[in-house]
Amino acid sequence: MKYYVIAGEASGDLHGSNLLKELKRLDPGAQFRCWGGDLMQAQGAELVKHYRELAFMGFTEVLLNLRTILRNIDRCKQDIAQWKPDCVILIDYPGFNLRIAGFVKSLGIKVFYYISPQIWAWKESRVHKIKQVVDRMFVILPFEEAFYSKYDYKVDFVGHPLLDAIASYPETFGSGALDLPADERKLIALLPGSRKQEIGTMLPLMLACAARFPQFRFAVAGAPSVPASFYKEHIAGRDVAIVYNQTYALLGRAHAALVTSGTATLETALFGVPEVVCYKGGAISYMIAKRLVKVKYISLVNLVMDREVVKELIQYELTAENLTRELRRIVEPAPGESAAGNVRGKILDEYAELKKKLGGSGASAKTAALMIAYLRN
């Protein structure tokens, strides 16, 4: 069968690649065409456009690039119509993918959505469009099944694919050896995001915090699409390393982490690394988002657990001083605290429960099997 897959960012490319691997196993004659990245391409997908050309962050940036976005949507529709797949698999990325879904549905092609848009956080009204244009939704967060049930829409909870991605490490991501000089100090990971816009905001604050912890070594997880020169401009001679294509190796060695809100917050937790979650957007985008977003937390860790497990520093609370205070709480016990009773110990205990809530391993295999069954019935 022919599968057309659309992902608009790095995490979608990762989960899409693992799904393609399982689809190939169950359907040896499978053909893939995608909007995604290197990982899906490595699984044999013909890459139409790389996600680097699709990533526009925030309300303002989307408006400024609206003409480009609309051109991409038109190109995608034309390509699908010409290739005539058996199904189109949409991975998150709702602003783009929901526009594609209606068109695909009108062609009589099956529409599968893997990794639901976060409509439970904002734009809840999108659920009505999803019911109209998506044949099957495959959700990865435990509370999403109940959310869709409120609207009389049956979805498949398949578990979180990050559990599989991390379980397959280092097989999937290389040797696991971290390319850093020997150093006896414990390592703190800095994950400032994947786009220049957010890195330029988050990294200076993280570096200012790092300067106050000379007893630790710090390393930045470099985004593949961002050149080292961009990071070095901010690092400016500080004793902070940059590692590329080694984020999991970095998390595997890290004692703690400062992490920009997004999928990386969950990855960090699944590696058992206590973290402080950071978010700071443009003033206009933040004001709009604050009015629209309906959730209590921004990190996936806290959302899944429905309580504050890791500290979130958002917008005006995200300062070097606050980062310093919160990092200190997770790297070293306060005077008189026991190892089991301190903040760090409590976070690690909560992480164990988090893994259970995420549904166990096998998300990619479950999803692939369900998709093929739906196509054959």
pLDDT tens per residue across span 235-291: 998 999 999 989 999 999 999 999 999 889 999 999 999 999 999 876 555 554 555
> H or E element: which one contains 240?
strand 240-244
Domains and CATH numbers, the chain: 2-159+362-376 (3.40.50.2000), 187-357 (3.40.50.2000)
Q: Mean pLDDT score of the chain, rounded to an integer? A: 89
The helix/strand/coil state of 75 is helix
Q: Work out the angle at residue 241's Cα, subtended by the Cα atoms of residues 167 and 276, and round it to the nearest 5 degrees.
A: 60
Query: How far apart (Å, rounded) are the C-alpha atoms in residues 85 and 163?
Result: 29
The helix/strand/coil state of 374 is helix
> How distant, in Å, are the alpha carbons of 30, 193, 210, 271, 368 from that of 165?
22, 19, 29, 11, 15
Q: Work out the angle at residue 95's Cα, subtended by the Cα atoms of residues 91 and 98, and round it to the nearest 5 degrees.
A: 65
pLDDT at 201 over 60: yes
Place of tokens 């062609």: 107
Query: How far apart (Å, rounded) are the C-alpha atoms in residues 112 and 134?
Result: 6
Query: How far apart (Å, rounded) are the C-alpha atoms in residues 66 and 243?
Result: 33
pLDDT of residue 295: 65
What's the whole-number mean pLDDT along residues 72-94? 95
pLDDT at 60 over 60: no
pLDDT of residue 128: 94
| 211: phi then psi, degrees, rounded to nearest 5 | -60, -15
* Kind of pairing between the strands at 275-279 and 2-7: unpaired
* Kind of pairing between the strands at 256-260 and 275-279: parallel
Sign of the dihedral through C-alpha 193, 293, 91, 150: positive
What's the whole-number mean pLDDT along residues 192-216? 94
- Greater confidence (197 vs 69) lies with 197
pLDDT at 342 over 90: no
Using CB atoms within 10 Å of the CB of residue 325, give its burial: 0 to 12 exposed, 13 to 18 middle, 19+ buried. middle
Contact 153, 131 (CB under 8 A): yes
Query: How far apart (Å, rounded) are the C-alpha atoms in residues 252 and 276?
Result: 17
Q: Which two tokens stand for residue 338?
A: 């026991």
Place 3 in a pLDDT band, splitting at 50, 70 and 90: very high
Q: Which two tokens stand for residue 334?
A: 């306060």
